[in-house]
Amino acid sequence: MGPYKLLSIIVPVYNVEKYIGACLDSVAAAGDRLDRVEALIVNDATPDRSAELAKEYIRRFPESFRFIDKAENGGHGSAWNEGLGQAEGKFILFLDSDDALENLGRLLSFLEKTEADLIVCDKTEFTDGTGEIRKVKMSLPPAGVAVNLEEEDWKYDCRFCHFHTCVYRKSILTPFQPLFHERTSYDDTILFAAPLIKAGKVVYTGFPLYRYRVGRDGQSMDILQIKKKIGQLIGEGRYLLDFVNSHPADSEGKRNLLKRISKRTVKTRCDYILHLPSSGERSSLLESWTDYVTQALPYWKEIPEVRWFKRYPYPVFRLLLKCKNLCNRLFK
């Protein structure tokens, strides 16, 4: 491995032999800029040939690809914790091994010049099997203009900090290690909030970086998987809210932004609970989730889903939500 790495790319590997080649090829596509990259391939005790296929890249690019072998499977978050603990790069990029990158060379040029802690890019979603493409542009300040989060009253999309659209300066993540919960799904939820605590400036590149695969069987955000793992989804939402409460932001601008993120986290959990087929399960989970929220967030009455559930009978609550969603669609 070379003496200085600008970017560490952390790639968890588990049961992805169908996709791992395309993923790592997209890293190798940096070409003559690859020497600035450290790709950490974290084998989470995969039972298939993924690790064997990944090792070929270590042989081909020994200065840029590194293999980390975990003794036992600990889940996605475990692999990210391991990679982050060993990363030597100035910046961190999390890459799932069924996804890919584009414009990596362009990103490296951008990173060489920026003083920002959070570097935000657009993303591309592509459908597994059909190859259908959807471009997702971020709603942020003009490209190249660094904004100080401690001074800015953030009026833009509050979801910019997720790993599909963000590259992180390593120094704003390492104080919270181990950051990710292990042996659970939706462990990436914490990235919507945790990097903001230590971040100073954020900058938007204006070009896409992450290519996110959708429509794959067993994907965690598939509605069938969400229904199976709703307890884990709620648990990671609680982790985010507890994290924000225990790490108070040092400026009014950041506090307002984290409040928006927390409110959105509450709303999305309510939405997912309402997708469950059993009315009894929906009512029970909403009861426990909103009970927790009323204790965790002093501003819980500002969240319609919580306020209405606590105030009205369940049928009235559902009717109010339907009216709210209809109005949002009509006046968007």
Give the number of residues written for the chain.
332
pLDDT at 152: 75
Residue 296: which of 239, 236, 229, 233 has the closest Cα? 239
CA–CA gap between residue 172 and residue 164 (Å, rounded): 18
Tell me what pLDDT residue 331 has.
80
pLDDT at 221: 65
Question: Two tokens at 246?
Answer: 């225990």
| Mean per-residue pLDDT of the chain | 94
* Total-model pTM: 0.94
Q: In which residue ranges of the chain is pLDDT below 70?
A: 1-3, 218-222, 332
Per-residue model confidence (pLDDT) at position 40: 98
12 contact partners, CB below 8 Å, separation of at least 6:
42, 44, 76, 79, 80, 83, 96, 97
